[in-house]
Structure 1
Amino acid sequence: MTSLSDLPLRDNLVGQEPYGAPQDAVPISLNVNENTHPIPDPVIEDIVASLAEAVRGVNRYPDREFVELRTALAGYLGHGLTAEQLWAANGSNEVLQQILQAFGGPGRTLLSFSPTYSMYPLLASGTDTGWIDVPRPEGYALTPEFTVAALREHRPDIAILCGPNNPTGTPLDRDVVLAAYDAFDGILIVDEAYQEFDAERESSVALLPGRHRLLVSRTMSKAFAFAGVRLGYLAADPAVIDALRLVRLPYHLSALTQAAATAAIRHSGEMLATVADIREQRDRLATALTELGYEVHPSGANFLLVGGFADPTGAFETLRAQGILIRNLGIEGHLRLTVGTEPETTALIDAIAALGA
C-alpha cells in the first residue's frame, strides 16, 4: 500500500501530521470547545426556511461577493463597519489560510506565541510560510513589553495574537494589541474566535480605524453554536478584503452556507443567549477544580486549561472510558476542558473528583 513517504511531497510537509482531535460518539463531548447548548427551535425553523428558499436557486452559482451576509456581519459587529470591511470563508481556518496566501509564502514568516492554536504552524507549512514560535512567559499572559521585544527581534511579515488564547484561555488586553501594531511593519491578526465569552474586554474591532495592517478574525463556530456550518469571518481595511479576493477560490461560500449564516445573524440575540450560562458554568467549574487542588488558569473563553494532573494521559483515558471526552494537548500536567451545560459540568466535576478518590 502506498504511504506518504512514497509521494513527492514538498520538503516542508515531510513528516507533518494533519490536524486532528479525537472523535468519539460519547455522551459528553468537551474536547473541541463547541457550544454544547442546542439552537432554539424558532431559530432552527427560520434557518430551515432560509435553506429551503436557497435550494430553489442552487442550479446557479451563489453570490460570489456574498454581500447580504457581509452586510449582516457588519451590522452584528457594529463600530460603524460596512460590508466592504468584512470577509467570510468556510471557518476561520480558511480565513487565516487566505491571509497567509495573500501576505505570506516563501521567504516570509508568521510569528505567534505558544502554546497557542495548533493550526497556526500547519497553515504556515501549507502556504510555505516560515513559522516563528515564541514561548509565552510564565502564566501565559502577554505584556506589551514582552510582545514588542519578540516582534522587534524577529521582524515577521505576519503575527497572530490569539485572544482569548487557545488552549490556555488567557485574555488579550488592548494595550498588547496597540503595542504590537506599532512594533513592526507587518500584518497583525487578532484571532477572536472566543471573544463573545470575554465579558470584560472590548473587541479589537474597535481599533481598526486608521490601522490598515490590523485584521480581526472571528467565527460563528463557538458562541453561535454553529460549528457544523463552517463560517468564519474577518473585519479589516477594505484594501485587505481586496487582497483576499486575489487568492480565494471562485464561489467559495455555498448558497446554503450564506443562507444559514445570514439567518443565524438575524437571531444573534437568541443564538448568544447561552453565553452567560457558559460563563457561569466556567466559573463554577473553575471554583470546583480549585477546591479539589488543581491549578486553573484564568480564562476568558468557553474552556479551562487545568494543571495539577499527575498523569494527564491516564486521567484523559479514565474520563473517556466514562463517556466524557476532553483534550490532552501534551502540556505537562495539564488538560483542557470545554465548558458544557450545567448537567455536563456537574458530571465532569464529579468524574474529576473521583480521580483522586
Structure 2
Amino acid sequence: MDSRTTIEAMLRADLRGRTAYGAPQLDVPVALNTNENSYPVPAVVVEAITRAVAAAASGLNRYPDREFTALREALAAYLLRSGTVVSAEQVWAGNGSNEVLLHLLQAFGGSGRTALGFTPAYSMHPIITTTTGTTWVDGLRGVAGGGAFDLDVASAVEQVREHRPDVVFLCSPNNPTGTALDLDTVVAVHDAAPNTLVVVDEAYAEFARPGTPSALTLLQGRPRLVVTRTMSKAFALAGGRLGYLAADPALVDALRLVRMPYHLATQTQAVALAALDHADLMLETVGAIKAERDRLVAELTAMGLDPVPSDANFVLFGGLEDSHTTWSALLERGVLVRDVGIAHYLRVTAGTPQETTAFLQAMSDLAPQHRTASTPMTLSTGARP
C-alpha cells in the first residue's frame, strides 16, 4: 500500500475524495481570476506599514495582544464612516475572513448540525462547513420575478423553514454573481429561522453601487445576525490576511472559545492598523475599479454576451458555448479569468484600465466563435463557484 492510499484510508470519511480549494496561480500578463485589487499598496502606506512593523519587531519575543484591542477599535471607527455605529466589543477579526467564518462554524456548527447556503455562492462556505464536521445543505436560488441568479425571498424562507439549519449564509454582493441583496430578504430569512445564526458575507461591500444597503444597519436587536467583511479587496490587502465581522458582543465573546491563542500576529495587527490609518488613500482606487466593472458590463453586452449587473469588483458573464474552452482560449492570450463551474459562464475581475482593455480585446476576438444563443444556468458536477 503506497503512502497516498494509506493517508486516504486514515482521513476522515467525509473528506475522502474531496478536492482542495485551488484557484490557479499562474504567471500571466493579465491575472483577473481571484478578485484581487490590481492596484499596488500606495507608497505612503508602504512606508507607514514598514515603520509600524519595524517598531513592533523588537517586541516579537512577546506574544501579540490576544484581544487585538487597538485593531478592533480601528475597525469599529472605519465602519462608523459608513454611518453605522458599531462598538469595538462588537468586532472580531482573523487571518482573512475565511478564518472568521471558520470561527463561526467551530462555535455554532459541528457534528449533528447543518449550514445552508444558496448556490451559486462563495465556494469556501461549503468547504469550511465540511472541515468543521458540519453538514452542508445546498440551497437554490429562486427566479420568481427576477434574474436567474436572484435570491427569491419566498423561496429562501421556504428552504430555511424546511431544513431548519443552524447556520445560514447570505452573500451580498454575492460571489460569483455580483448581485446584492435588499435588506428585506435578510430580515425575512432571519425571522424565518428563530434558532439560526444568519451570516451575511459582505466581502465586496465597498464596491456596491450607490443606494445598496448594508446588513450592518440591521445588527441592533438581532443577536443572531453576523456581518463579515475583509480588507483583502477594497483595501488592496489580500496578502495582509485580515478579515473581520460585526455582531452582538455576546456572540463575539463566544468566538473566544474556539480561536487559537494569540491567533493574530503582532505583524498582522501592525499592518492592518497602518492601512486603516490611511483608509482614504487605500480606498481611492475603488471608484476606478467600479468604472472598469461597469465598462466590462457595457462592452460584453455589446459583444452579444450576457454579463450580470454587478455590485462587486468582478463581472460574471454568460452567452458562451463552452465556458472552459473560452477560459483556455483566453489563457492562451495571456488573460487568466475564473471558470466558476457554471455552464456557459465565466467570471472576470475588474482590474486596471489596461488589464480591462487586454481582456476585452481578447474576448472581442473570441466572441463570434465562442458565444451561444442561449445561456441556461447549470452547475457542472466537476467544479463549484
TM interval, shorter chain, is over 0.9
How far, CA to CA, are the matches of 2:128 and 2:323 in structure 1? Answer: 28
Per the TM alignment, residue 33 of structure 1 is displaced from its structure 2 partner at its CA by 0.5
Q: How far 1:7 sits from its partner (Å)?
A: 3.7
Q: Secondary structure at the match of 1:356?
A: helix
C-alpha displacement of 1:2: 1.4
Give the 3-state SS of the residue equivalent to 2:200 in structure 1: strand
Equivalent in the alignment of 1:191: 201
Which residue of 1 is the match for residue 372 of structure 2?
Answer: none
Deviations 1:11-63 (A, max 9, x none): 11111111111110111110000010111111111111111111121111000
Q: 2:365 aligns to what?
A: 354
2:377 aligns with: none
* Aligned residue number for residue 172 of structure 2: 163
Q: Conserved in 1, the CA contact under 8 Å of 2:142 and 2:152?
A: no
Let me know the Cα RMSD of the aligned residues.
1.1
Whether contact under 8 Å (2:8, 2:16) holds in the other structure is no
What is the CA distance between 1:137 and its match in structure 2? Answer: 2.2
Matched, 1:130 2:106: no
DSSP-derived class of the 2:10 partner: coil
Deviation at 1:298, TM superposition (A): 1.7
SS in 1 for 2:284: coil
Structure 1 CA distance for aligned equivalents of residues 149 and 367 of structure 2:
27
Q: List aligned pairs for 1:15-34, cutoff 5 A.
A: 15-34=17-36
How far off is 1:333 after superposition? 0.4
Do residues 298 (structure 1) and 309 (structure 2) align?
yes
Which of the residues 71, 92, 95 maps onto 1:69?
A: 71
Q: Which residue of 2 aligns with 1:328?
A: 339
TM-score, normalised to structure 2, is: 0.91
1:146 maps to which of 130, 155, 159: 155
Amino acid across the alignment from 1:133 = D
Aligned to 1:179: 188
TM-fit CA distance, 1:202: 2.4
Q: CA deviation at 1:81?
A: 1.2
Tell me which stretches of 4 or more aligned residues in structure 1 moved more than 6 Å.
none
1:321 Cα deviation (Å)? 1.6
Distance in 2 of aligned mates of 1:318 and 1:333: 14
- Distance (Å, rounded) in 1 between the aligned partners of 2:189 and 2:150: 14
1:90-135 CA-to-partner distances (Å, cap 9, x unmatched) read 0100100110000000111000100111111111110000101012
Query: Which residue pairs with 1:266 in the alignment?
Result: 277
The aligned residue for residue 275 of structure 1 is 286
Q: Please tell me whether the aligned partners of residues 35 and 233 of structure 2 are also in contact (alpha carbons under 8 angstroms).
A: yes
Where does the alignment leave 5 or more consecutive residues of structure 1 unmatched? Answer: none
User: Does 1:94 find its partner at 2:99?
Assistant: yes
Partner of 2:14: 12
The Cα of 1:145 is off from its aligned counterpart by 1.6
CA distance in 1 between counterparts of 2:280 and 2:350 reads 20
Question: Displacement of 1:224 after TM fit?
Answer: 0.6
Partner SS, residue 158 of structure 2? helix
Cα drift, residue 67 of structure 1? 0.1
Matched, 1:241 2:246: no
Q: Partner letter of residue 39 of structure 1?
A: V
TM-superposed CA distance for 1:310, in Å, is 1.1
Name the % identity: 52
State whether residues 308 and 316 of structure 2, in contact with CA within 8 Å, keep that contact through their aligned partners in structure 1: yes
Q: 1:55 is matched with which residue?
A: 57
What residue in structure 2 maps to residue 121 of structure 1? 126
Within 5 A, what are the aligned runs for 1:35-50? 35-50=37-52
Cα contact 2:219–2:225 (8 A) shared by 1:
yes
State the aligned residue count.
Answer: 357
Amino acid at match of 1:231: L
Structure 2: distance between partners of 1:140 and 1:312: 17
Shift of 1:227: 0.3
Report how far residue 144 of structure 1 moved.
Answer: 2.3
Moved more, 315-324 or 234-243: 315-324
- The one-letter code of the counterpart of 1:190 is V
Shift in Å, 1:334: 0.5
Provide the rounded CA distance (Å) in 2 between the counterparts of 1:3 and 1:235.
42
